[in-house]
């Protein structure tokens, strides 16, 4: 989960998401609209009796303030709350067997970071017809998926590319929350599968964006274009606008694949 605004636990229940699957919360910065939902969410998870542990990735002062809140309002949780202290820097902050997560410093009124989630390359795909034809034993399948050739009992070598097909391309997602437009940001993000970039303002109010640490839809589209992203997801719209479709219209002038974000949207990453 990235950020946790007010009513987050209600949204979880409304959209039938599983509290048990939530193990990491990544906070971009410490403004209230991005963190005020945490006490309610933690309390709801505790009431559900979910065990295990929950890691919150945040700045040092965020960990200190949130710890005090949790100690008072969320006592006796059946799970451990851990804090991974981050800084506004370019750094890998989490790595698993299948995923890496790195931070990118942003330009906001308080210290802020964006997150880039990148899948690691997976195993090759077994071709069942060929493994059956060459009588590859079951115990060899894991090694074949990892790229090993198969040697038959008579010494015949069956090349791996006959037994498998290439792995699926790894997916990636960048989440760029509150920030003024940064010309060097695209190079730091890279060619991700999907880029969420805040679009608080339209270009007609560009003069308000930078002083308040925000971007326009056009600027977000420029970042998506320059990063080589496959798709741009808009969001974080100012309440001054009554027609959200204007953000997509403006971004499409610069970038061809724009998704208009709204509550409950499910986006397929390709």
Residues assigned a catalytic role = 33
As given in the structure block, the two tokens for residue 114 are 């964006």
- Phi and psi at 209, nearest 5°, equal -65, -60
Whole-angstrom distance, CA of residue 226 vs CA of residue 219: 11
How many CA atoms, within 13 angstroms, populate the side-chain half-sphere of residue 94? Answer: 22
Measuring CA to CA, which residue among 165, 8, 27 is closest to residue 84? 27
CB 46 within 8 A of CB 73: no
In angstroms, how far is CA 11 from the centroid of its own chain?
18
């Amino acid at each position: 989960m990235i950020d946790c605004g007010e009513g987050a636990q209600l949204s979880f229940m409304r959209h039938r998401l599983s509290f048990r699957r939530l193990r990491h919360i990544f906070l971009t910065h410490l403004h209230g609209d991005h963190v005020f939902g945490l006490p309610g969410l933690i309390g709801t998870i505790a009431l559900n009796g979910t065990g295990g542990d929950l890691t919150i990735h945040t700045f040092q002062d965020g960990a200190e303030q949130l710890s005090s809140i949790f100690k008072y309002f969320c006592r006796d949780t059946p799970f451990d709350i851990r804090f991974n202290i981050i800084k506004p820097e370019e750094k890998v902050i989490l790595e698993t067997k299948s995923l890496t997560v790195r931070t990118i410093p942003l330009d906001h009124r308080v210290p802020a970071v964006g997150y880039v989630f990148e899948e690691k390359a997976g195993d090759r795909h077994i071709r069942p017809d060929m493994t059956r034809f060459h009588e590859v034993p079951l115990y060899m399948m894991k090694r074949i998926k990892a790229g090993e050739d198969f040697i038959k009992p008579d010494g015949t070598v069956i090349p791996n590319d006959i037994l498998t097909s290439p792995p699926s391309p790894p997916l990636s997602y960048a989440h760029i929350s509150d920030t003024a437009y940064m010309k060097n940001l695209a190079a730091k993000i890279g060619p991700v599968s999907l880029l969420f970039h805040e679009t608080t303002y339209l270009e007609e109010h560009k003069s308000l964006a930078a002083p308040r640490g925000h971007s326009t839809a056009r600027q977000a589209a420029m970042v998506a274009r320059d990063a080589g992203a496959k798709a741009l997801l808009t969001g974080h719209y100012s309440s001054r606008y009554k027609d959200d479709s204007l953000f997509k219209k403006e971004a499409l002038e610069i970038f061809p694949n724009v998704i208009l974000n709204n509550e409950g949207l499910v986006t397929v990453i390709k």
